[in-house]
């Protein structure tokens, strides 16, 4: 039996990075860049206007104000996509739209709100612009030749926008692992089979497939194997084309727990068996060639929590991610919690934000079979191995579960009227 | 011009909840339940064993210990899926596997590790079990008739496992909105067109589509319209079958900013125009019938940030979600920040966790055109309208951007060897 940290280390040191593939940028959301992306040209490509208004020479307007406006002669128009090709001379201006190129001669923009028309060929300017005012300089955002996005960057909407800006419709990303999932156990039945006494619907096949998808990988279901080496072997052979193999059940000490030996028969080299944690102790990890194999426990919550600790980080690493682990926060116990695991105890809990604290409350029965407690859980309290009572008010570490933050808000931060309220800012150092 | 809180309120009060659809549970990840789910039977369905071992009568083993073992006669076997049909009498035991039904007569399980075989038909028991020990009681997790999952529940892997356990292969969820996206501007060109001087690649079409997908909705691209009412109208008419319409650009005060009038021509009733925030001031919101229409500003970051504040909560509401808003946390300024917006300023920033604090650092130029600052951003500092300098060390609110928590960890919480370390727990009240 080994510690969880050691087990994670042994899993991750054996995990290969998958190869690259080239995909359209709109298919790349959530993937990880497998190339550096350089800019071939400056962004903006030319000095351009940040406002609708008039491109002018700032010196011409020195001293202009609303009671003493200065009139400029309009000599043309620079539209987004149709630049003014001429020159802006002394006392002249060019009508300009947001995003349009600044014409030669001009060195500032005065916005339309700071002007009044003076006939059709002139404009009265009511303020004096600073030099460079409302001009977005060429290369201000990105310089030609610069590496803008690096290998290993997770691709979010802003990266997709940047890739488009830089002219990339396609991009290299790391491939997604195919994850074969085999459930084992004579008691298991599937959703399309009639239910009978003594049977249990195989939920692990579904919850594990969902966890695989949530991590961004691709599930491949091998169905349910009975507690027979023959059935398990034949299904596992179907799974050998996958990049990762997951089984659930059959890895404990019972006399029908064949999975470990069946996996060895199909070529698995065992790296460890059993981890000092609750739930999830009976976990087998090994490799078939470079292919990681996880023999997860059969209890629904043990399987899910073991997936979180070992399989998810491994899948993320294969896909090129660097942040492999869920966030751990500090929370305050809202009630006493008894830990009698005698090993690292991961207690399913809800999180409640109130009075400036995040409070943690156990979700009730912590039986490894109890899926209900997973449904209710926002996170896992991390309790050390000692058997003891943790009193209400104790601060504990909590590992957040799920990608959708359980601490998202039902109401906006800003109330309907208080956006001007300075109290939104607290003033300490 | 209205405040952001008022604007959000006006948007959300007009947003309809979409109808329901019935889908397979493995397609339901990230969707929201549109039905209550009741249990038709108890889970577990029968009392069953939590361990591999022997089902017995606890009184028979009173006083048993390793130096004074008690021997029980083996009368059968209860396997997962193949229950023992007989009765466990005085001094008898039945070999039992994890998940197998507890035979009649037995009231406890002694685990295999606490026994030694005594020939093939008897077992020596080395401990005295408590009544009910290692028995998972019928209905312990879920009671028949109980509502286990309620309308409005977001579907995560644990809900998918629970749905399978309860026998549901299909489930009603709220439909996903189709979101038509139109980019406007004569200066815009697309990725499959040759680039020329004065042109800008239309990144908004891509970043907004990615934001729509990240929110769980379905983008429908209407392409790029020139600054002509005719082209805009014809493309918008193609978008009227969508549930939501987004445009970007053409909503400011320039003389080619037709989008507002074109939208009105195709039937939009304007609800508000302009929000007191930076970036993102020139925003139009209206409805065509019950269909929400968002005229977003054309600058890349203004469009993305306006989407975050108004469109994303609206899409989530349509899909049945209740937590509509990104998490807001408190962070400490790592450097001085100057706010001269004169209206609510959302400053793109990175977040760094160090020394027990989350530090916020501006990502540099806050120009509305600067996509780079969005690429680098983990969140938005929320700075009140007053023009001032916020000194290093000031605590500010930061709205988290992106679904993948920027505070995920590159290394696990537990080090390789310190899982036993009590220091993982801090001890205050």
A197 neighbors A191 (Cβ within 8 angstroms): no
Number of neighbours of residue B233 by Cβ within 10 angstroms: 16
**Contacting residues for B317 by C-beta, under 8 A, at least 6 apart:** B12, B15, B17, B324
| Contact across the interface for A419 and B5, Cβ inside 8 Å | yes
A193 touches chain B (CB under 8 A): no
Q: For residues B271 and B283, is the Cβ–Cβ distance under 8 A? A: no
Contact A116, A98 (CB under 8 A): no
Give the nearest partner residue to B410 out of A323, A399, A427, using CB atoms: A323
Q: How far apart are CA B280 and CA B299, in angstroms?
A: 8
pLDDT at B420: 42
Residues of A in contact with B331 (CB under 8 A): none
Q: How distant is the Cα of B144 from the closest Cα of chain A, in angstroms?
A: 14
Contact A164 B413 (CB under 8 A): no
Helical ranges in A129-258 per DSSP H: 157-165, 204-214, 229-239
Cα dihedral B9, B14, B20, B23 sign: negative
Report, as an integer, the average pLDDT of A362-390.
88
How far is it, in rounded angstroms, from Cα B85 to Cα B75? 11
* Contact yes or no for B419 and A25 at CB 8 A: no
Rounded CA-CA distance B342/B118 in Å is 85
Which chain B residue has its CA at the smallest distance from A297's CA? B98
**β-pair type (A53-56, A92-96):** antiparallel
Dist CA A360 CA A397 (whole Å):
10
Give me the DSSP letters along B170-205: EEEEEPPPEEEEEEE-TTEE-TTS---TT-EE--HH
> Do A266 and A236 contact (CB within 8 A), yes or no?
yes
Helices (H), B94-251: 157-165, 204-214, 229-238
Query: What is the number of residues in chain B?
Result: 429
- What is chain B's mean pLDDT, rounded? 91
ipTM, interface predicted TM-score of the complex:
0.92
pLDDT band at A123 (very low <50, low <70, confident <90, very high): very high
For residues A94-98, average pLDDT:
93
pLDDT digits (tens, 9 = 90+) for B194-210: 998 888 999 999 999 99
First-to-final CA distance of chain A: 47
pLDDT in tens, A28-38: 999 999 999 99
Residue B415 confidence (pLDDT): 58
pLDDT range class, residue B257, cuts 50, 70, 90:
confident
Beta-bridge mates of residue B276: none
Q: A393 at the B interface (CB within 8 A)?
A: yes
Q: Which of B81, B136, B148 sits opposite A369 (nearest CB)?
A: B136
Q: Given this model, what pLDDT does residue A405 score?
A: 59
Of the candidates B201, B192, B292, which has an alpha carbon nearest to the alpha carbon of residue B247? B292
Minimum Cα–Cα distance from A301: chain B residue: B158
On the CB side of B379, how many CA atoms lie within 13 Å of its CA? 26
- pLDDT above 70 as % of chain B: 93
B111 falls in which pLDDT band (50, 70, 90)?
very high
How distant, in Å, are the alpha carbons of A6, B17, B285 from that of B13?
A: 52, 11, 12
Region for residue A380 given its phi and psi (left: phi exceeds 0; alpha: psi -120 to 50; beta: otherwise) = beta
Which residues on chain B are in Cβ contact (under 8 Å) with A191? 164, 167-169
Which chain A residue's Cα is nearest to B134? A367
Q: What is the pLDDT of residue A367?
A: 80
What percent of chain A shows pLDDT beyond 90? 76
Within 8 A of B371 by CB-CB distance, chain A residues are 43, 141, 158, 161-162, 165
Chain A partners within 8 Å of B203 (Cβ): 161-162, 164-165
Of residues B50 and A160, more confidence is placed in A160
Residue by residue, DSSP assigns B356-395 as TEEEEEE-S---TT-SHHHHT-SEEEEE-SS-EEEPTT-E
Q: Which residue of B has its CA nearest to A103?
A: B198
Beta carbons within 10 angstroms of residue A368's beta carbon: 21
Q: How far is B88 from chain A (nearest CA, A)?
A: 18
Q: Is the CB of residue A338 less than 8 Å away from at least one CB of chain B?
A: no
Contact A224, A203 (CB under 8 A): no
Predicted pLDDT of residue A415: 58
> What is the rounded distance in angstroms from the CA atom of residue B331 to the CA atom of residue B398?
7
How would you class A230 by CB atoms within 10 Å of its CB: exposed for 0-12, middle for 13-18, buried for 19 or more?
Answer: exposed
Nearest to residue A79, comparing CAs of B185, B54, B352, B126? Answer: B185
Tell if the CB–CB gap between A428 and B98 is shorter than 8 Å.
no
Q: What is the mean pLDDT of chain A?
A: 91
Q: Which of residues 309-328 of B touch A (CB under 8 A)?
A: 313, 322-328
Q: Which residues on adjacent β-strands are paired with residue A123?
A: A72, A117
Kindly state the percentage of chain A with pLDDT values over 70. Answer: 93
Q: Which residue has the higher pLDDT, A312 or B388?
A: A312
Which among B165, B324, B372 has the least Cβ separation from residue A142?
B372
A115-117: strand order across its sheet: A108-111, A53-56, A92-96, A70-78, A122-125, A115-117
Phi, psi dihedral angles at A303 (to 5 degrees):
-65, -45
Q: DSSP 3-state assignment of A2? A: strand
* Cα-based torsion angle of the residue sequence B272, B274, B276, B278 in order, rounded to the nearest 10 degrees: 140
- Residues 30-89 (A) with a CB less than 8 A from some CB of B: 30, 41, 43-46, 50, 52, 79-83
Determine the Cα–Cα distance for residues B408 and A400; give it in Å rounded to an integer: 10
- According to the model, what pLDDT value does residue B428 have? 32
Q: CB–CB of A162 and B325 under 8 A?
A: no
Strands (E), A192-314: 200-201, 218-225, 244-248, 269-273, 277-278, 284-288, 291-296
Residue of A85, A272, A313, A408 to mutate when probing chain B, most B C-beta within 10 A = A408
Q: Torsion over CA of A359, A365, A370 and A373, rounded to 10 degrees?
A: -20
Is the pLDDT at A256 greater than 80? The verdict is no
Interface check B117 vs A, CB under 8 A: no
Task: Tell whether the model's pLDDT for residue A200 goes beyond 60.
Answer: yes
Average pLDDT on B45-73 reads: 95
Taken in order A386, A388, A394, A400, the sign of the CA dihedral is positive
Torsion angle of C-alpha atoms B190, B196, B200, B206, degrees rounded to 10: 20
Q: Is B210's CB within 8 Å of A367's CB? A: no
Half-sphere exposure of residue B184: CA atoms within 13 angstroms, side-chain side: 28
Asked if the Cβ–Cβ distance from B100 to A187 is below 8 Å, we say: yes
Smallest Cβ–Cβ distance between B157 and the set A99, A211, A391 belongs to A211
Provide CB contacts within 8 A for B354, sequence distance 6+: none
| Average pLDDT estimate for B218-244 | 95
CB atoms closer than 10 angstroms to residue A216: 22
B214 part of contact set with chain A, CB < 8 Å = yes
How far, rounded to the nearest angstrom, does the alpha carbon of residue B290 sit from its chain's CA centroid? 27
Of A46, A214, A413, the CB nearest to B325: A413
User: What domains are there in chain B, each with its CATH number?
Assistant: 4-16+176-318 (3.40.980.10), 20-43+141-174 (3.90.105.10), 48-136 (2.170.190.11), 328-400 (2.40.340.10)
Asked if B213 and A140 come within 8 Å (Cβ–Cβ), the reply is: no
Q: Which residues of A touch B374 (CB under 8 A)?
A: 158, 161-162
DSSP conformational letter for B30: T
Please, are residues B179 and B315 in contact by the beta-carbon 8 Å criterion? yes
* Cβ neighbours of residue B119 closer than 8 Å, sequence gap 6 or more: none
Using the beta-carbon criterion (under 8 Å), do A375 and B140 form an inter-chain contact?
no
Of the candidate ranges A205-209, A361-365, B108-112, B234-238, the one whose mean pLDDT is the lowest: A361-365
pLDDT tens figures, B282-335: 899 999 999 999 999 999 999 999 999 999 999 999 999 998 998 888 899 999
Evaluate whether A270 touches A251 at the Cβ level (below 8 Å). Answer: no
Instruction: Locate A229 and state its tokens.
Output: 């080496």
Query: Is A1's Cβ below 8 Å from some Cβ in B?
Result: no
By the 8 A CB rule, do B396 and B382 touch?
Answer: yes
> Quick check: helix, strand or coil at residue A160?
helix
User: In this complex, is the C-beta atom of A116 within 8 Å of any C-beta atom belonging to chain B?
Assistant: no
Would an 8 Å CB–CB cutoff place A407 in contact with chain B?
A: yes
Question: What is the 8-class DSSP label of residue B216?
Answer: T
Q: Using the beta-carbon criterion (under 8 Å), do A165 and B371 form an inter-chain contact?
A: yes
Scan residues 349-388 of B and list those with Cβ closer than 8 Å to A.
365, 367-372, 374-375, 377, 382-386
pLDDT in tens, A151-183: 999 999 999 999 999 999 999 999 999 999 999
Percent of chain B with pLDDT over 90: 76
Does residue A3 sit in helix, strand or coil?
Answer: coil
Q: Do A157 and B25 touch (CB under 8 A)?
A: no
pLDDT band, very low/low/confident/very high, at A426 (cuts 50, 70, 90)? very low
What confidence score (pLDDT) does residue B404 get? Answer: 62
DSSP code of B420? G
């Amino acid at each position: 039996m080994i510690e969880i940290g050691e087990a994670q280390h042994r899993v991750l040191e054996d995990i290969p990075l998958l190869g690259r593939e080239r995909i359209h940028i709109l298919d790349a959301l959530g993937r990880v860049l497998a190339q550096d992306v350089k800019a071939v040209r400056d962004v903006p490509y030319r000095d351009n206007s940040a406002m609708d208004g008039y491109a002018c020479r700032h010196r011409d307007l020195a001293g202009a104000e609303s009671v003493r406006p200065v009139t400029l002669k309009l000599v043309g128009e620079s539209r987004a996509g149709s630049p003014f090709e001429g020159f802006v001379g002394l006392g002249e201006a060019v009508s300009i739209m947001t995003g349009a190129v600044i014409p030669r001669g001009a060195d500032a923009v005065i916005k339309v709100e700071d002007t009044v028309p003076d006939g059709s060929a002139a404009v009265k300017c009511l303020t004096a612009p600073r030099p460079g005012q409302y001009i977005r300089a060429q290369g201000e955002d990105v310089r030609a030749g610069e590496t803008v996005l690096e290998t290993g960057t997770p691709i979010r909407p802003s990266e997709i926008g940047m890739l488009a800006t830089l002219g990339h419709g396609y991009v290299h990303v790391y491939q997604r692992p195919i994850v074969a999932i085999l459930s084992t156990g004579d008691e298991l039945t599937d959703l399309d089979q009639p239910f009978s006494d003594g049977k249990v619907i195989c939920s692990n096949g579904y919850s594990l497939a969902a966890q695989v998808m949530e991590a961004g990988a691709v599930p491949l279901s091998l169905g349910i194997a009975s507690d027979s080496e023959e059935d398990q072997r034949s299904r596992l052979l179907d799974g050998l084309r996958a990049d990762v193999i997951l089984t659930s059940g059959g890895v404990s000490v019972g006399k029908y727990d064949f999975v470990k030996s069946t996996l060895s028969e199909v070529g698995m080299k065992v790296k460890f068996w059993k981890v000092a944690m609750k739930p999830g102790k009976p976990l087998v990890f090994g490799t078939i060639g470079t292919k990681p194999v996880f023999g997860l426990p059969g209890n629904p919550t043990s399987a899910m929590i073991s997936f979180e600790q070992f399989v998810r980080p491994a899948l993320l690493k294969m896909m090129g991610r660097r942040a492999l682990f869920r966030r751990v926060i500090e929370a305050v116990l809202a009630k006493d919690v008894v830990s009698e695991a005698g090993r690292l105890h991961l207690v399913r809990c809800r999180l409640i934000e109130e009075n400036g604290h995040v409070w943690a409350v156990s979700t009730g029965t912590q039986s490894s079979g109890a899926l209900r407690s997973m449904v209710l859980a926002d996170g896992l309290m991390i309790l050390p191995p000692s058997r003891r009572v943790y009193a209400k008010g104790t601060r504990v570490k909590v590992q957040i579960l799920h990608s959708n933050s359980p601490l998202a808000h039902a109401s906006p931060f800003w109330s309907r009227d208080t956006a001007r309220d300075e109290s939104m800012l607290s003033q300490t150092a």
